[in-house]
Structure formats: structure tokens, C-alpha cells
Amino acid sequence: MALAGKNILLGVSGGIAAYKAAELIRLLVARQARVQVMMTPNAAQFITPLTLQTLSGRPVASQTFDLGQESQIGHIRLADTADVIVIAPASADLIAKAAVGIADDLVTTVLLAAHGPVAFAPAMNVHMYAHPTVRENLARLAARGVTVIEPAVGPLACGYEGQGRLCEPASIVEQVEHLLTPHDLAGQRLLISAGPTQEAIDPVRFVSNRSSGKMGYALARAAWMRGAEVRLISGPTALPVPGSVTRISTVSAEEMLRATSDNFAWCTILVMAAAVADFRPAVVAAQKIKKRSVRWRMELEPIADQLPGLAARKGSRRIIGFAAETEALLDNARAKLQHKKLDLIVANDVTAEGAGFAVDTNIVSLIDPSGRVESHPKLSKDEVANLILDRVAAMKPEAAARRAGAVRVLSRR
């Protein structure tokens, strides 16, 4: 776990969203993080220190000049021992003080002593959040390297609706993990496909497969955690988009393949984790096909494989493929690796327990062009994703990254 053993210093400021700090602490502790809470005086009007102390298992720090707290904790020690400081919720008042360096309570004093990663999760009325002063203060903090976790859009406690809700605690935890994960893929741009495709039979029916998209989404999340820019070409799925990953939604195989081709020039690494259909109905009915008492036959036509064409123009890009098989796993995977000119293929037998679709685990073998096979036992899909990305990181497609970086610089001139 990325947060296991990490010291998280959570600052809670005054606002109705302070109650969500309890859930945030619970999630952090569940990931084996050590959570130390500090509160502004106004925060204690919304949630009691005892509640947060009970959940974190540590006394809550709240007074800058309390002799007991200063002798045992101290604002400098709080800053020095923190792996990351998270302010959630961050009120407009605290944001303004931090932006100009005011230190009139424990939380703002600790922020001036901070020398590691800091994240602010604002929460306030929609009009307050849109106010130019608040936007300028957040921009000033961001320019200093502070991570701003944007609030969500929705109904607010004040009766208004709009952007201002504290980001969900699970998303804040994800951002904290991102801050504390080594960014060994920084500078790389990963294009990842995920999920199933749906091939229409008529306006209400389609042909599809059992893919849930969980493996592709795990790859997108892990790549973003490790510092890469990620575009996720996703078939139909209700899975949440990780972090700042850009999702490109598609339905049919044709749409997914077109989106892959259109975005191929952008990426340095392509990971084809989606279960793209091999066949589609030759004719799509314009109206719903009515149930008949006699048999009805549907003719299928093959869908052209796009990967060989992309491989022919990949240059220094790396292409990772998947082989979901039910027999002759390694032989079929090797054949696909060679035919599609891949740099790595991830093979799994979908009939094996814990390795099929719609489960949170997988059993994979990684095969490279040299023929080397690296087989792994049943692991979570997050663990499998990082195993694959470890191999990707070792490939170091640096030339493509440098070339793409030069293009970006020139485009700004």
C-alpha cells in the first residue's frame, strides 16, 4: 500500500464539510497511514476533537501556545514529521491566510514551517469559490507547488447548488497516494484502452463480451499515480475515472479503434487492455426485431485488427497488448505478440479461478519479444497493473518523450 507507514498531517478548518474529515481519517487509517489531526478554533465548532482523536488514535493538536502540546508535539515537529500535509476542508479564510503567509493559529503556523508536499481541498459556497480573490489565492498557492484538489459540483449545505462541495474523501485519499508515489513515469504519455465494446443488432440489442474494464482502469490509475499523463479510451462501464486521467468514451469497436488511431500520435506508450470485439452483425436492423416463433439467424462479419497498422508506424513508441485465452495460453499469446509486433504481451487464462472478467484479481504471464515468460500468481488488478508498468518503466521510451516535449514547447511559441 502506498500509504502504509506514512505520516499524514490532516488540517481541518471551519466549515460544515468538517464532518467529512471523520470519513477521510477512517480511509487513511484503513490504508495503514499514521494520521495526526490539527484543527483551527473554528473547526471545533463543527466537529469535536474527541471524534477525530478517536478515529486517528492520536491527540488532536489545536493550540499554538498550549504548553502541553508544544512540549509534546510542537508546530515545527508537526511539519518536520509529516510526509504530506492535507488541509480538508480548506475554508476561504484559511486559503487567504496561507496565500499571504499569515500565521495566527496552529494550522497556518504549521503551513509556514512545511517543507514537503501540501494539498488543499477547498469547500465553501459556490459564489465564494468563484470569487476572484479566492481564485487568485488558490492560484498563488498552486504556483508555490501546493496541490489544489478541486471541489465537486452538487447541492451545498447553504441551499445553493454548484461547485463548492468538498471532494469526496476517497478521491482525496487517491490524490494523497498520488503525491506520495514515486513518479518514475513522469514525462510519459500513456494511451490505454479498457472495457468492452457493444456492436448493435438493432436499436435495443447489442453483441458484447464479459469485460468489466477493471484491468484497464487499474492500469490508468497506476500510470497516473506514477506521474504519467493518461488518456483512457473506455468502452461502456460505470467505473470511476481515476485522478486527472482523461476519459474518451466509446461504444463500438469502430469508435474505439478510431479513437485509438486519432490519439496514437500523442502517446509514448499504448496499452491495449480493452476487449475489442472480433465480430459484429453484418446488418443492423433499423427497428427493433420482434420475437418470432421460428429460429432467427444473425450473420456476423469480422472487424479488422488495427494493431499491426499502428505497430508499423510506432517509431520509438512502445505497444503493450493483452491476450485473454481459454486454451494454449502461451502459444496463442506468443503468436499474437509476433503478429502484432508488440513490445510486451500480457496473457491470462480467463477460465482460471480469479483470472476471468468482472473480478478484482488476475493471474498473468508477461511475454516479451525475446520469448522470456514471467508468470505470476493470483494478484489484485492494482498489483498486476504495477507489474506491467514496472516493465514499461524499464523500457524507457525516452526519445519519444523528448521529441513530444519539444513539440509541446514549440506549440506554445
**Catalytic site residues?**
158
C-alpha cell at 263: 490519439
8 A C-beta contact, residue 56 and residue 50: no
Residues pairing with 366 in the sheet? 346, 374
Among residues 300, 284, 310, which one has the least CA distance to residue 193? 310
Q: How far does the chain reach from its first CA to its final CA, in angstroms? A: 42
Angle between helices 132-143 and 92-100 (to 10 degrees): 50
Are 146 and 189 in contact by the 8 Å Cβ rule? The answer is no
For the residues of 117-182, what is the DSSP string, one character each? -EEEEE---HHHHHSHHHHHHHHHHHHTTPEE-PPEEEE-TTS-EEEEEPPPHHHHHHHHHHHHS-
Nearest to 172 by CA among 100, 69, 88, 276: 88
Cα–Cα nearest to 110, from 136, 147, 73, 138 = 73
Of residues 386, 370, 311, the one with CA closest to residue 342: 311
Q: How many CB atoms lie within 10 A of CB 373?
A: 13
3-state helix, strand, coil in the chain (%, to 5): 40, 25, 40
Distance CA 169, CA 316 (A): 40
Strand-pairing partners, residue 344, are 320
